Amino acid sequence: MNKYNSYKNLLSKSYDEAVAYLLLKYGCAEDDYYREKSYQRFLNGEIKNITKGKYSRTSEGLYCHHIDEMKELKISDQSFVKINNIPYAYQKKERLVYCDLIEHAILHVLITKETSQEFGLPGYLVFLKPTIEQWYIDEIVPTPPWMKNCYNKAFLYPEEAVNILQAMQETLGLSYFNSPDEFHEDKRRKIEEYQAIKKRREVEDKERAKRVKEKEKQIFKAKTEQFYRDYPKFEPMNIRFDSPRRKVIAMLYDYTYSDIYKSKKELDVAMKPVIKDDLFKELYVSICNRVDK
């Protein structure tokens, strides 16, 4: 039986049958996924990360799958371990099975089917299916050595990858492409749609920014006009409503406080509790008094 047909045969099995087949094919794990003492210390909040066991076989191109993913989501994820208080028994070597990328996807499809989508589906849709598409339909060979091992172990030609994904999708009651050409055409269409949406949003963002800028100019103009209606003598002196506080303090010092405070800095400290609007009022009175004199 060739590789593609063996995948089809695995997909036709029940989840328990598929696990038994893979245990026989690749053998049992020789170590637990996580160290038990570390696991318990992590659950108790004593440490931030759990020490892993020596279970990995990525050098052979194999993934490690938790058999009890029929019962819990993301058993290997530390955050899920803590949130869901996942039993350590699920991490024991007796509850691990090895598989290549396609077999791993099939296990998740079977879990999804047998649990009515309660478990299995996120891993298939978010990680496994996209990886198969990228490696074997887009024909993008991964660069990390462990990934390349997994790529070679489960290697399929584009037509075979489409066919096995189509079979997996049908098992879940979902449609899929009939050929690599359909896959690539759909991908091109989605890219074009995304670029069109992106371009439209860029135009909308520019128009929105322009409107905001125009509104800000109108507000600035209105504030300026009101400010000079309140303080007409400020306009020829280039004193604006948004003039820095230090400028107003400096002018107050020159007009009123040079005989009272040793420096503008000392005046600034003394005026800390006073809001700028009140400083403007006092400065205006000082200017008017000097002009009147």
pLDDT in tens, 6-18: 999 999 999 999 9
How many whole angstroms separate alpha carbon 96 and alpha carbon 32?
A: 8
Which residues touch 217 (CB under 8 Å, ≥6 apart)?
none
Q: What is the pLDDT of residues 55-95, one digit of tens each?
A: 999 999 999 999 999 999 999 999 999 999 999 999 999 99
Closest CA to 248 of 221, 222, 267, 229: 267
What are the structural domain ranges in the chain?
3-176, 179-222, 231-293
Residue type, 84: N
How many whole angstroms separate alpha carbon 104 and alpha carbon 124?
A: 9
Q: What is the pLDDT of residues 267-290, one digit of tens each?
A: 999 999 999 999 999 999 999 987
| Residue 1 pLDDT class (50, 70, 90 cuts) | low
Q: Side-chain half-sphere of 240: how many Cα atoms within 13 Å? A: 9
